[in-house]
Amino acid sequence: MNNPMAVSQNARQRRLLLQATGTLGGVGLVGTMVPFVASMAPSEAARSRGAPVEVNLDTATLGSLVTIAWRGKPVWILHRTSDMLDRLGRHDRLLADPLSKEAQQPAYARNATRSLRPDFFVAIGLCTHLGCVPTYRPDAGAADLGDDWPGGFFCPCHGSKFDLAGRVFRAVPAPLNLEIPPYEYQGETRLVVGQDRSGSA
């Protein structure tokens, strides 16, 4: 016979995971993605006021994209593979702002990978055209996106394209790279979205 306390605990954990990964329907959760657990340390009320969100990266699968909610916006966390990182360096000529000169990121993400750590890409998952949620399209050379498609994010609303560092392609409606929120790491596997050591938040 089931232990009622254990059942209740399991149900609570399932609810938290769904809140962390399932409330932003349609955001690019694809392939063999195994959602890693976003531990929603702040209360629901605190989160809605914009409190930082802690994410445990322990079980993050290479190539997987997970979405959490921060300040009512989807925030993507992409665990990039070494192949994805290699591809980033090969298509600057196709990009509108390859060096991230526009102020779309904290200073610590103004680099070749637009991130604190190359292996994890953290970005607000809203197109800089009209704010739709792009889809995750890591499939380089996809037939519908062209031979020179290096993998990235595609916004079906009006056709904007972003690479796997959120850099916008030329000649699309979106004017800017995807926005990078403030974030920091507390140890190897704990990511905190919404705060950083510079005091941004």
Contacts with ligand FES, residue ranges (CB under 6 A): 127, 129-130, 132, 155, 157-160, 173-174
Contact indicator for 105, 122 with CB cutoff of 8 Å = no
Least distance in Å: CB of 155 to ligand FES?
3
Query: With respect to ligand FES, which residue has the nearer C-beta, 42 or 173?
Result: 173
Query: With respect to ligand FES, which residue has the nearer C-beta, 85 or 132?
Result: 132
Strand arrangement of the beta sheet that strand 152-155 belongs to: 135-137, 152-155, 160-163
Least distance in Å: CB of 16 to ligand FES?
30
Name residue 152's beta-bridge partners: 137, 163
Phi, psi of 98 (to 5 degrees): -65, -25
Residue type, 177: N
Least distance in Å: CB of 101 to ligand FES?
21
Terminal-to-terminal C-alpha distance of the chain: 48
Q: Kindly state the tokens that stand for 77.
A: 């966390």
| Cα–Cα distance, 180 to 51 (Å, whole number) | 17
> Catalytic one among 79, 91, 129, 158?
158
CA-wise closest residue to 92 among 179, 163, 174:
163
Least distance in Å: CB of 39 to ligand FES?
31
Strands 160-163 and 152-155: antiparallel
Contact indicator for 46, 194 with CB cutoff of 8 Å = no
Least distance in Å: CB of 167 to ligand FES?
15
| Cα–Cα distance, 15 to 35 (Å, whole number) | 14
Q: Does residue 158 carry a catalytic annotation?
A: yes
Query: With respect to ligand FES, which residue has the nearer C-beta, 130 or 171?
Result: 130
The residues carrying an active-site annotation are 158
